[in-house]
Amino acid sequence: MPSRRSARGRRATSHDRGPSPRVRSTFAVVTHHDLTTARVRRATPDDAAPVAALAALTFPLACPPGASPEAMAAHVAAQLSPDRFRTWATSVEHVLLLVETGAGETVRVLGYSLLARGVPDDADVARVVGTDEVVELSKIYVHPDAQGTGVAGALMVASLDAARSLGPGLTLWLGTNGENERAQAFYRKHGFATAGGRTYVVGGEEHSDVVMVHRT
């Protein structure tokens, strides 16, 4: 799954749109943890800590086998901190979604996604999607326990809806590791197609990504 930040948000102006409407959907999931109902909703700054904890767990699982533990830890510390998620939760250039289950003190975060509106700051990406403003599906991850339960699909559907609100009519793209065939198959199922490639740096180590664009 992507954990990416290649779209640089532009400076907010009086013409900027506010955050897109709250996204919420409910769907049934059943796992060996007896999770029964999960919800997709827009995250708030109060969700930053649990989402960051999930990011720290899931990001290394999506990295290629050659990525070193030190590089992955450095990336998580620098790019996936609670402060980062607090900023994204309030930014007009981003939509941060999460999937949760339970109620009250039993609430558990099962997945999250991040969309970013901006101009690509990576030359390889710009050659694929152009130099105008676009929307990037920067991150989409689910807890390993929730894989195969429908959580990822529901999160993707909500993310696609949020992308249309964040940047109506804009190109939607993502980057994911070239060796992650499972992720690429999932994205193709939801309307993405490989359109190019890029180099992605994790903790100082370079990896080869594919760039996928959503067919609208």
pLDDT above 80: residue 96: yes
State both tokens at 24. 């919420």
Instruction: In whole angstroms, give the CA distance from residue 131 to residue 33.
Output: 45
Whether 171 contacts 134, CB under 8 Å: yes
148, 190 in Cβ contact below 8 A?
A: no
Q: Is 98 left (phi over 0), alpha (psi -120 to 50) or beta?
A: beta
Per residue in 158-180, pLDDT tens? 999 999 999 999 999 999 999 89
Does residue 4 register a pLDDT over 90? no
Domains parsed from the chain with CATH numbers:
22-214 (3.40.630.30)
Which is it for strands 108-120 and 172-177: parallel, antiparallel or unpaired? Answer: unpaired
Output DSSP code: residue 80.
S
- Please tell me the pTM assigned to this model: 0.83
* pLDDT-derived band at 49, boundaries 50, 70, 90: very high
Structural contact between residues 111 and 141, judged by C-beta atoms closer than 8 angstroms: yes
Cα 144 → chain centroid: 16
Cβ neighbours for 200, distance < 8 A, ≥ 6 positions apart? 4, 175, 177, 206, 207, 208, 209
Q: How far apart are CA 55 and CA 62, in angstroms?
A: 11
Residue tagged 């904890």 (tokens): 53
